[in-house]
Amino acid sequence: MNLFNPAKLLVLIILLAFSSCKHHQPNPFENIPDKYGILKQVLMHPEKYQVQIIYTQIDRDQNNKPRFTDFNYRLDNEVYFYPASTVKLPVAILALEWLNEQNVAGLNKESIMLTDSVRPSQLPAHYDSSAANNLPSIGHYIKKILLVSDNDAYNRLYELLGQDYINRKMKEKGMTHTIINHRLSMPMSEEENRHFNPITFKNDQGKVILTIPSRETSSIYANQDHPSIGKAYFSQGELINQAMDFTFKNKFSLSDLHGTVERIIFPENFEPNQRFQISSDDRDFILKYMSMLPGESDFPKYELPDYYDSYSKFFKFGTDQSPIPPQFRIFNKTGNAYGHLLDGSYFVDFDNGVEFFVSAVIYTNENEILNDNQYEYDEIAFPFFAELGEYLYQLELKRKKMRKPDLSEFKIKY
């Protein structure tokens, strides 16, 4: 019996050829035009700058459902970098997921949240002058995190959730290269960071809704490969001539940062167990403040000249303090510490139907000394983000798409 079928073989060859063409697109990180001088310089010396990039093209089907195509540059989940303030994004979202799980009558993101202290290293929080009612709440802390990357706001949500909850939830959602184990801008030992303040929630009439006692975790969340950075660092004014140990510092891989942004922008692209379990109203709240510019907020209020439009929008706009044109919206979270600069973004141009994801990290520390405030942020890091964003934006303007996306969902009233 002859099983050979020339017609079927021809169809198979055509399908394989089509598949090959579809998935072998030009590498966007090769042949960078000369006008992007800093971007070219960085990509010519990737080891020096420890750069990693994820760029995701988005194409829509007939139902406007997005399909992702990823392009990675030196992406490596095992290579440690300090994630700085980018860890605040998942903690902010998880605070809303925690609220959703409590099922306590009257408890919501606007409930008054009073943090106490029971250890010398802890600080209480009973007042917030930037809130309309001068009182703290989960919702107000999230606004401050997403608008200007407020450290205290992150610390309060970290103290609310605790290490066990945060790390378990991230792992359950498929983001397995994340370790969140400390407060920010507070000189606290790893032991003290495993203790969490008592918290009381009240309603507008001052009635107690929920009381949470002080807690601690016996689990130790640490980077098992004991990463270190630099050749020396300053500690309390003294130069320590050895690399800084990051074993007990936060970890948030670029793929997990990118995945967090993707999950909040397009949750339907992920399996239900990998999504953030928040209401549609809470998702709208996150999207609103992820993309809001500092000057568009009334409470908290952030004014010029300190808080310009691109204060936390690095891609394309860098340190340009001119107003960002209204056709653009960037849903993102940035980070900046120890010579590292990071941004994870969903970038939108409503006028031209452009949308894409891009996340990147760069390390600029020529002398390899940490905590000396001698980093090449202005010379290299910020221009790198501005040029990378502009370069990818220009690629997207020219890229042919089968369908123009309907971006009306992201035209948010501010």
Q: What is the CATH number of the domain that holds 34?
A: 3.40.710.10
- Tell me if 2 is assigned to some domain: no
**Per-residue pLDDT tens over the stretch 61-85:** 999 999 999 999 999 999 999 999 9
- Alpha-carbon distance values, 25 to 20, 22, 30, 53, 57 (Å): 9, 7, 12, 17, 11
Taking the CA atoms of residue 289, residue 290, residue 296 and residue 297 in that order, the dihedral angle to the nearest 10 degrees is: 40
The runs of H, that is alpha helices, within 87-189 are 88-102, 138-148, 151-172
What sign has the CA pseudo-torsion 122, 128, 134, 135?
negative
Per the prediction, the chain carries an average pLDDT of 94
Per-residue pLDDT at 5: 57
Distance CA 154, CA 26 (A): 40
Residue 42 has pLDDT above 70, yes or no: yes
Distance CA 354, CA 39 (A): 22
User: Rounded to an integer, what is the distance from CA 131 to the centroid of its chain?
Assistant: 24
Distance CA 367, CA 194 (A): 33
What average pLDDT does range 210-232 have in this prediction?
Answer: 98
- Tell me if 232 is assigned to some domain: yes
Distance CA 3, CA 158 (A): 64
- Tell me if 13 is assigned to some domain: no
Q: What is the DSSP string of 325-380?
A: PTTEEEEEEEEEETTEEEEEEEEEETTTTEEEEEEEEEE--TT-EETSS---IIII
Model pTM score = 0.93
Residue 194: give the domain boundaries: 30-410
Amino acid letter at 141? Y
- Tell me if 248 is assigned to some domain: yes
- Tell me if 17 is assigned to some domain: no
Residue 343 has pLDDT above 70, yes or no: yes
Residue 239 has pLDDT above 80, yes or no: yes
Residue 29 has pLDDT above 50, yes or no: yes
Per DSSP, the three-state class of 70 is strand
Per-residue pLDDT at 291: 98
Q: Which of 13-22, 67-76, 238-247, 264-273 has the lowest mean pLDDT?
A: 13-22
Per-residue pLDDT at 15: 42
**Per-residue pLDDT tens over the stretch 289-302:** 999 999 999 999 99
Residue 409 has pLDDT above 80, yes or no: yes
Strands (DSSP E) contained in 49-142 are 52-60, 66-73, 112-115
Instruction: Count other Cβ atoms within 10 Å, centred on residue 338.
Output: 18
- Residue pair 228/246 in contact (Cβ under 8 Å)? The answer is yes
- Tell me if 23 is assigned to some domain: no
Residue 18 has pLDDT above 50, yes or no: no
For residue 368, which of 244, 260, 270 has the smallest C-alpha distance? 244
Instruction: Give percent of the chain with pLDDT exceeding 70.
Output: 94
Q: What is the DSSP string of 294-331?
A: GGG-TTTT--TTTS-GGGG--TTTTT--SPPPTTEEEE
Residue 3 has pLDDT above 90, yes or no: no
Q: Give me the number of domains the chain comprises.
A: 1
- Tell me if 20 is assigned to some domain: no
- Tell me if 10 is assigned to some domain: no
Helix (H) or strand (E) holding 201: strand 199-202
Residue 8 has pLDDT above 60, yes or no: no
